[in-house]
Amino acid sequence: MQILITGGAGFIGSHVADELLRRGHRVRALDNLSPQVHGAGASRPSYLHADVELIKGDIRDRVAVQRALSGVDAVYHFASAVGVGQSMYEIEHYTAVNNGGTAVLLQELIERPLERLIVASSMSLYGEGLYRAADGTAHEGQERSLDQLRRADWDLRDDDGRLLEPLPTPESKTPSLSSIYALSKFDQERMCLMIGRAYNIPTVALRFFNVFGTRQALSNPYTGVLAIFAARLMNNNAPFIFEDGLQRRDFVSVYDIAQACRLALEAPGAAGQAFNVGSGRAYTIREVAAMLAAILGRRVEPEICGKYRVGDIRHCFADITRARTVLGYQPTITLEEGLVELAAWLQDQAADDRVAQASRELASRGLTV
């Protein structure tokens, strides 16, 4: 097949390209080589496979999208502005790229027959994950009040004030959109599934959890938390953590993400559905910071700021039952294994630590509590 990956020169897109090339497909990437991700004046990344045809262009540019779609059999739509915190003050940009760019792509796709459309969605659309009360009943986590957060009372409770226990979050959990980024990813997912159904384009949405691995944009302070921690540690600074560091997340290797993306192309029963793609395991942010510091040989304690960042949630980790059952997805890389490889890759990398600058941006707008 001839396959287009929008955002295909980025972290996840380039790994998916490798996976598809190994399966004998031809791959084209449409990417604007955003300075926030690739650096100023960026050219073709050295890690992008030589067999990938790269078209430099913006997902909002109809002419570039038309050119990229020429002769294509399937599309992976990964092009997005990424960052929960930044999305809360660059509202127009995030909406234009994520919502508007998806609209441009879909407008062109309704004129073309396509074997499959796969869109990168996000765990951020869940907001808080699923919880269990003391009596055993399931609760969908609700947004915490500002009064609670100002007291540094981070955990979710039931109506009687008892702690709720976090559970793996299934796809059936009602979305709770706590940031512009989350809203835009939900829109991307629903727009693609809706137009796919209307125009008979088999469409699959993959809800990525916290993806980590080689090729992450280390100097982007709004990227994945492990890349941000790495940039801090590489500059001899402590990892910077909001709240108390005990919030729990699901960290999934980019290789397992690439596996799920390939399966979404092949699985006959996948069309029309959304799937969680995670590891199925939960770690606290504090644990992950300590693991990465130890592997990198840095003896430094994380900086726990005790503040809340607007748009953040307490706990969310994946129930991957549906992906296992329908796609045949099975995570193969543990967090520990993935961090060892990440640390080895970091030895030859440089990173600008821009976390303090990003934190000031948020604080100046009242987006930290």
CA 44, 46, 50, 52 dihedral sign is negative
DSSP 143: P
Distance CA 171, CA 278 (A): 12
How far is Cα 324 from Cα 330, in angstroms, rounded to an integer? Answer: 6
Q: In the 8-state DSSP scheme, what is residue 336?
A: H
Q: Kindly give the pairing relationship between strand 165-167 and strand 130-132.
A: antiparallel
| Residue 249 backbone dihedrals phi, psi, to 5 degrees | -135, 165
Active-site residue list: 181
Contact, 188 vs 325, CB < 8 A? no
Collapsing DSSP to helix, strand or coil, 319 comes out as coil
Parallel/antiparallel/unpaired status of strands 130-132 and 210-212: unpaired
Tokens of 153: 């009372």
